[in-house]
Structure 1
Amino acid sequence: MTASTSSQPINPDKPWISFLPNDYKATDRNLNDPVVISAQVGETLVKKILMDPRSSIDVLFYSTFQKMKLSEKALQPSSEELVGFPGERISIRGYIWLQTTLENYPDCKTIDIQYLVVDCKSPYNIILDIPSLNAFNAIIFTVHLCVKFFS
């Protein structure tokens, strides 16, 4: 028995996304860097947002929360903790819903995201998780260090 292939997309209502050589964003071909973007979050353009397809929560780091000049009153309380990879427990300061917009000229898409606000050090300002990436229809291509989506 031979396997057959089809030229039809698996999900025909979604357009094709391709990555071309001019999409390549890496500065060093030997690094395995994560995909990091900028996006409009609330009223602020936030840089150093990690696109993490392994994460199951969206995280807004408290230092970024403060730089965004968001009101503490907007923070909804939470008594939960996050458990990191080495088993470290981090208290959640609270959570906040913020409109988040990704732009990929000529397209842009905005969704409401519930961010857990945590007070710990990070090289990133925000971490976007799997459900948010799926809501954006985001395709991450780590070889090119870029993300594309369809609206």
Structure 2
Amino acid sequence: MSVARLPVEVDDRESKRAKGMASPIIGFSDDDKVGTIQPHDDALVVKLRIGGYDVKRVLVDQGSAVEVMYPDLYKGLKLRPEDLTTYDSPLVSFEGKTVTPKGLIRLLIQTGLDIVEVDFIMVDAYLPYTAIVARLWLHALRAVSSTLHQKVKYLSEGQVKEVIGDQLVARQCMVSAISRRPSIEPSTIAEDNL
């Protein structure tokens, strides 16, 4: 059975109004890779305005369920222990170790003109990043991130805006993390392979 499609007349004013109301689509193309070093496997590390301060070395991790801040940021924002509220749930670090958070604090993250309120968990552990922003921040901002393109894109005022990653800083953070790892004895490696 075939279906015939009949031409439909559309009032031109309605069509223009509908087009004007359509939201832009967030997407990535090869043009978004211009200015990046390719190929790469760098993490997405950005600068954000957190708690009224410009904060460097912020890791965007869409695989993480919580926003985390480390001692450098905590001290840099001049926060006091009484600024933290209790947070009892332990976290598992990148190394698989259980970490007990020092507490939780709600802070504002400003991206362009958009401000999102986020709960950060304060962890007294070493990572080369000052903070990690995760799915909660991305979802609140209605953003999409791409490590390949080294960008976070989000809608604001009817336009697609961008936060651009810094590959040099991402690579410095990686080197710092690797250099702080405890070295493994060569005899231990040989014994494990036997």
TM-score class, shorter: 0.7 to 0.9
Equivalent pair of 1:25/1:146 in contact (CA under 8 Å): no
Range that drifts further, 115-124 or 67-76: 67-76
> How has the CA–CA distance of structure 1 residues 85 and 48 changed in structure 2, closer, same or farther, with 3 Å as cutoff?
closer
User: Which residue, 118, 127, 133 being the options, matches 1:122?
Assistant: 127
Matches of 2:22 and 2:81 in 1, distance apart?
A: 42
Equivalent pair of 2:84/2:103 in contact (CA under 8 Å): yes
Structure 2: state its 5+ residue gaps: 1-20, 157-194
Structure with higher strand content: 1
TM-score, normalised via structure 2 length: 0.63
Mapping for residues 65-80 of structure 1, pairs under 5 Å: 65-80=74-89
Distance apart, 1:141 and its partner CA? 2.0
> How has the CA–CA distance of structure 1 residues 150 and 23 changed in structure 2, closer, same or farther, with 3 Å as cutoff?
farther
Distance apart, 1:73 and its partner CA? 1.5
Matches of 2:97 and 2:34 in 1, distance apart?
A: 35
Residue type of the alignment partner of 2:151: C
Structure 2 counterpart of 1:81: 90
Q: For 2:91, what is the secondary structure of its paired residue?
A: strand
Residue type of the alignment partner of 1:112: E
Sequence identity of aligned pairs in percent?
26
Matched, 1:90 2:95: no
Structure 2 counterpart of 1:24: 34
Mapping for residues 127-138 of structure 1, pairs under 5 Å: 127-138=132-143
Structure 2 counterpart of 1:148: 153
Q: For 2:64, what is the secondary structure of its paired residue?
A: coil
TM-score, normalised via structure 1 length: 0.80
Q: Which has the higher contact order (CA 8 A, sep 6+)?
A: 1
The two structures, once aligned, show a CA RMSD in angstroms of 2.0
Range that drifts further, 74-83 or 45-54: 74-83
| Number of residue equivalences | 135
> How has the CA–CA distance of structure 1 residues 133 and 62 changed in structure 2, closer, same or farther, with 3 Å as cutoff?
same
Regions of 4+ moved over 6 Å: none
Matches of 2:33 and 2:55 in 1, distance apart?
A: 22
Equivalent pair of 1:140/1:147 in contact (CA under 8 Å): yes
Matches of 2:95 and 2:136 in 1, distance apart?
A: 24
Range that drifts further, 129-138 or 93-102: 129-138
